[in-house]
Amino acid sequence: MPIRFTFRQLEYMVAVGDAGTIALASQRINVSSPSISAAISQLEEEFGIQLFVRHHARGLSLTPGGRRLFNEARRILETAGALNDLANDISETARGPIAIGTIVTVAPLLSAAMRRSFEQAFPDASVSLREGNQIELLRMIGRAEIDVALSYDLEIPKDVDFEPLASLPPYVMFPLGHPLAELDELTIEDLANEPMVLLDMPLSRDYFLSMFQMAGLRPTISERTSDLSVARSLVANGFGFGLINIRVQNTTAPDGQPLVFRPLVGDLRPMVLGLITKKSGHRSRVVQAFCDHVSRAVKAGELPGIPPQSQSPS
């Protein structure tokens, strides 16, 4: 009996099953919603069953039969991917697609530059980029939506591997002319009574707030934002100080107002930037090539905002 469905149709079905809506699946895999809808309808016609229940204004959910086919389709796609990996290993060439996720705070600095340098070094690789906060990136890794993520050592689950790359100590951002900006370095006690612009992202906010908690202090939070660019502008315009671990050479906020960066010292845990991959006995050649590429760039001090690492971060 001839096969009347394609791997592409299975990929679209799995994307919708993961996302819960065709619109979100469309964004994730960069395929138009009509194309995905047509593929789902074609699969339902070919299989002779309903794969999804359509909920008005609430997306789609898999039917019991659709769930069984969804699980098998995911297994088939993973097996097909393993065949590509095997072919690459046999040919000893880093080629084929690789999906890379980056934490949103460093994505503007690193994503495009990393992609360009990696594709120049490995022209047979096809790179796609995603960004998200830590929880979103870990979810993408778990669902195999991305192959590797560049992010921090925050709440790393047991089913993923974390390869540390760089230790990033905290810095304080001030507006130009702030009295504390005259100091060469600061302690957390220096900031206790100052208004704070909190970078309010999942897990990252807990890291910043824990610095005060360990000192028995409570920060005076004046503003919250999940966008680093907004945080820089709020700080530059005098709404409070900010904490950050990426020290960039650009000392102006997006609106052109100047910023001052000072190191925060004391018994404080640095953020550790690293590579996150799904725990597995095998890593494809293209993923390994990317991990090695980024590791070399970090050690050489070639990535903006990340100082050269004299020793491996713990």
Question: Ranked by mean pLDDT, which of 54-58, 88-92, 199-203, 280-284 comes out on top?
Answer: 199-203
Return the higher-pLDDT residue of 303 and 314. Answer: 303
- Does residue 278 sit within a domain? yes
Q: Is 255:230 a contact under the CB 8 Å cutoff? A: no
Rounded CA separation 89/109 (Å) = 32
Residue at token pair 């769930």: 67
pLDDT band at residue 280 under the 50/70/90 scheme? confident
Please report the pLDDT score of residue 302 as a whole number.
81
Please report the pLDDT score of residue 78 as a whole number.
79
Q: What is the percent of the chain where pLDDT is above 70?
A: 91
Q: 71 is in which domain, residue-wise?
A: 7-85
**Do 13 and 79 have their domain in common?**
yes
User: Would the pLDDT of 91 be above 60?
Assistant: no
**Do 131 and 179 have their domain in common?**
no
**Do 217 and 283 have their domain in common?**
no
User: What CATH number does the domain containing 59 carry?
Assistant: 1.10.10.10
Please report the pLDDT score of residue 88 as a whole number.
60
Q: Mean pLDDT over all residues of the chain?
A: 87
**Do 232 and 106 have their domain in common?**
no
**Do 16 and 60 have their domain in common?**
yes
Dump pLDDT digits (tens) for 232-256.
999 999 999 999 988 777 789 999 9
Rounded CA separation 187/169 (Å) = 13
Token output for 245: 């671990």
**Do 136 and 194 have their domain in common?**
no
Please report the pLDDT score of residue 214 as a whole number.
92
Residues in the chain: 314
Could you give the residue ranges of the DSSP H alpha helices within the chain?
7-19, 22-29, 33-47, 64-91, 107-121, 134-142, 204-214, 228-236, 285-299
- Does residue 311 sit within a domain? no
Please tell me the total count of domains within the chain: 3
**Do 137 and 184 have their domain in common?**
no
Please report the pLDDT score of residue 89 as a whole number.
61
- Does residue 307 sit within a domain? no
Rounded CA separation 146/108 (Å) = 18
Residue type present at position 280: S
Rounded CA separation 41/94 (Å) = 36
Please report the pLDDT score of residue 3 as a whole number.
62
User: What CATH number does the domain containing 148 carry?
Assistant: 3.40.190.10
Q: Which of 179, 171, 305, 174 is nearest to 234 (CA)?
A: 174
- Does residue 190 sit within a domain? yes
Rounded CA separation 193/189 (Å) = 8
**Do 147 and 294 have their domain in common?**
yes
- Does residue 71 sit within a domain? yes
**Do 189 and 118 have their domain in common?**
no
3-state secondary structure of 142: helix
Dump pLDDT digits (tens) for 50-86.
999 888 767 788 999 889 989 988 888 877 776 666 6
118: number of Cβ within 10 Å: 21
**Do 58 and 13 have their domain in common?**
yes
**Do 194 and 255 have their domain in common?**
yes
- Does residue 102 sit within a domain? yes
- Does residue 151 sit within a domain? yes
221 class by beta-carbon count within 10 Å (0-12 exposed, 13-18 middle, 19+ buried): middle
Please report the pLDDT score of residue 118 as a whole number.
92
**Do 277 and 162 have their domain in common?**
yes
Determine the average pLDDT of the residues in 203-207. 90
Token output for 290: 């990317």
What is the DSSP secondary-structure string of 196-215? EEEE--TTHHHHHHHHHHHT
Q: Which residues contact 297 (CB under 8 A, 6 or more apart)?
A: 114, 117, 303
- Does residue 16 sit within a domain? yes
Please report the pLDDT score of residue 111 as a whole number.
87
Dump pLDDT digits (tens) for 133-183.
999 999 889 888 899 999 999 889 988 999 999 999 999 999 999 999 999
Dump pLDDT digits (tens) for 258-279.
999 999 999 999 999 999 998 8
Please report the pLDDT score of residue 186 as a whole number.
95
